[in-house]
Amino acid sequence: MIEDLEELVCCESFSSDLEAVARSARVVAAMGARHLGAQPEFLVIDDVTHLRWTFGTPKVLLLGHHDTVWPIGSLTTHPWSVTDGVARGPGVFDMKAGLVQTFHALAGLDSLDGITLLITGDEEVGSRTSSKLIEEAARGPVATFVMEASADGGALKTSRKGTSDYTVKVHGKAAHAGLEPEKGANAGVELAHQILAIAALGQGPTTVTPTILSGGTALNTVPAAASVGVDVRVAEASEQARVDAAIRALEPVVAGTTLEVQGGFNRPPLEATMSSSLFALAQELAAGLGLGPLTSASVGGASDGNFTAGVGCPTLDGLGAVGGGAHADSEHVVVAEMPRRTALLRALIEAVQNGAPTGAA
């Protein structure tokens, strides 16, 4: 498993470098073929390379991604290493160890019948080209297991917030800031009003966060344009709809300005009801395997598991690596946990193959 992990980590796969993603897909495909005895489909959409293995009529969907947030050349500053039982390197935790565990879990099964494995190439940048593939793949199976890294302490992820992304643009009118500012319509002042209104939409677990700001062209000119990016995280679909309606209903305050709203839903929430039966099954199986008690976590970050839950497929996330530091200098994997998590995944797949209840309607 460590040799496989080294091979994947040392093939850098920065999401925005499509040649690197395609090269990574070939390496992942070859590794999967060695373990599964079958070649995948290469699904290239807008030059982004995804992989899919399908065995029989889909009953279990395994979901992962091979792209990372690490720019090409990160191996120079964050080299692959295994020291004192800890593996390090760009993408080792998010989520190349999860891919290795998936291949080894499948290789140990008596039968691959009923399994679909989908490994995408753009999860880290919003799954723009793969979201429809994921939703399509999740409409037949009775369970989805997402091989994203675990939460703190190895906790499985039983709920994830849904995400929406917006850009609110203000259109105003330029004027000389010293000679005749009254003849302008200040897009910057209007943006300030809108930022306060947008930030006030957050309530309870719903967060609405103004992020990227821009506006103006010169120090002595009334801004004719300004904009703000907005990050929305919600625990329930009803909240996603509420915030969307409120953002689209924003009205300008400064005379002479107009508003334009771009963006919308990115991922629906993975609500706890979509994972409860699978988590109970995982707890039972972990006890039988002597893996100790499993814990669960609700997290604010989204994954492709949000898409599978959004179309109604019971989904359990965070079954991948145990470690920490995703996207950070401290990214690492606890090597001793890899075979333990592999055994749990294999047991979950076998249980579903044999008809264990998953919570599917």
Q: Mean pLDDT in runs of 10 for the chain (361 residues)?
A: 98 98 98 98 98 97 98 98 98 98 98 98 96 97 98 96 97 98 98 98 97 98 98 96 98 98 96 96 97 94 95 98 96 98 98 96 81
Burial of 142 (0-12, 13-18, 19+ CB in 10 A): buried
Are 24 and 12 within 8 A, CB to CB?
yes
On whether residue 349 sits in a domain, the answer given is yes
User: Which of 267, 296, 324 is a domain's end point?
Assistant: 267
pLDDT of residue 301: 86
Which two tokens mark 294? 């499993």
User: Which of 218, 246, 267 is a domain's end point?
Assistant: 267
Its pTM stands at 0.90
User: Judging by DSSP bridges, how do beta strands 143-146 and 60-65 pair with one another?
Assistant: parallel
210 and 143 within one domain:
no
Neighbours of 92 (CB within 10 A): 30
Residues 6+ apart with CB under 8 A from 60: 114, 115, 116, 141, 142, 143, 144, 145, 349, 352, 353
Q: Tell how far CA 203 is from the center of its chain.
A: 23
On whether residue 358 sits in a domain, the answer given is no
341 and 314 within one domain:
yes
**What's the number of domains the chain is made of?**
2
128 and 11 within one domain:
yes
On whether residue 169 sits in a domain, the answer given is yes
On whether residue 90 sits in a domain, the answer given is yes
Distance, in Å, from the CA atom of 94 to the CA atom of 147, rounded to the nearest integer, reads 9
Note the residue count of the chain: 361
Burial of 15 (0-12, 13-18, 19+ CB in 10 A): buried
111 and 217 within one domain:
no
The sign of the dihedral angle between the CA atoms of 14, 16, 20, 22 is positive
Distance, in Å, from the CA atom of 138 to the CA atom of 307, rounded to the nearest integer, reads 8
226 and 151 within one domain:
no
On whether residue 63 sits in a domain, the answer given is yes
**CATH label of the domain that carries residue 215:** 3.30.70.360
On whether residue 251 sits in a domain, the answer given is yes
On whether residue 359 sits in a domain, the answer given is no
109 and 21 within one domain:
yes
Residue tagged 């760009």 (tokens): 90
152 and 48 within one domain:
yes
213 and 127 within one domain:
no
144 and 41 within one domain:
yes
**CATH label of the domain that carries residue 152:** 3.40.630.10
pLDDT of residue 292: 86
Q: Please list the alpha-helical segments (H only) found in 10-130.
A: 18-36, 74-77, 97-107
Which two tokens mark 16? 């925005």
219 and 195 within one domain:
yes
61 and 102 within one domain:
yes
User: Which of 200, 235, 267 is a domain's end point?
Assistant: 267
pLDDT of residue 312: 96
Distance, in Å, from the CA atom of 235 to the CA atom of 233, rounded to the nearest integer, reads 7
Q: Taking CA 65 as the corner, what is the angle to CA 98 and CA 159, rounded to the nearest 5 degrees?
A: 75
- Domain ranges, residue 295: 2-161+269-353
pLDDT of residue 361: 81
166 and 91 within one domain:
no
On whether residue 17 sits in a domain, the answer given is yes
The sign of the dihedral angle between the CA atoms of 151, 76, 342, 145 is positive
Are 225 and 256 within 8 A, CB to CB?
no
